[in-house]
Amino acid sequence: MIKYLLLAILALAVIGGAFDYKSNDDSLQLIINKKEAFNSVTNGGKRIFKMITSMISDTDLADSASIILEEN
């Protein structure tokens, strides 16, 4: 389960453009932009959370349970 979570975080970081490649004749460099990675992972996590909560609220479960969401 943990490796799926880590793969999801990595995928969100890659999609968000957190990685850059620089190469020259001698070497290949992988540059990780920490701020961009953090922003893309948090934005992706918020979007996934909103999708899941909207799917839950569309079912009959919403009639029997209350869900309170606060966005900062």
Distance (Å, whole) CA 14 – CA 10: 6
Query: How many domains, the chain?
Result: 1
Q: By residue range, what is the domain housing residue 30?
A: 2-58
Kindly tell me the sign of the dihedral angle through the C-alpha atoms of 9, 14, 19, 25.
positive
pTM of the model: 0.56
Question: pLDDT per residue over 19-72, tens digit each?
Answer: 888 888 888 888 888 888 888 888 888 888 888 888 776 655 555 666 677 776
Q: Which pLDDT belongs to residue 49?
A: 85
* 64 part of a folded domain: no
* 69 part of a folded domain: no
* 19 part of a folded domain: yes
* 72 part of a folded domain: no
Distance (Å, whole) CA 5 – CA 7: 5
What is the chain's alpha carbon radius of gyration, rounded to the nearest angstrom? 18
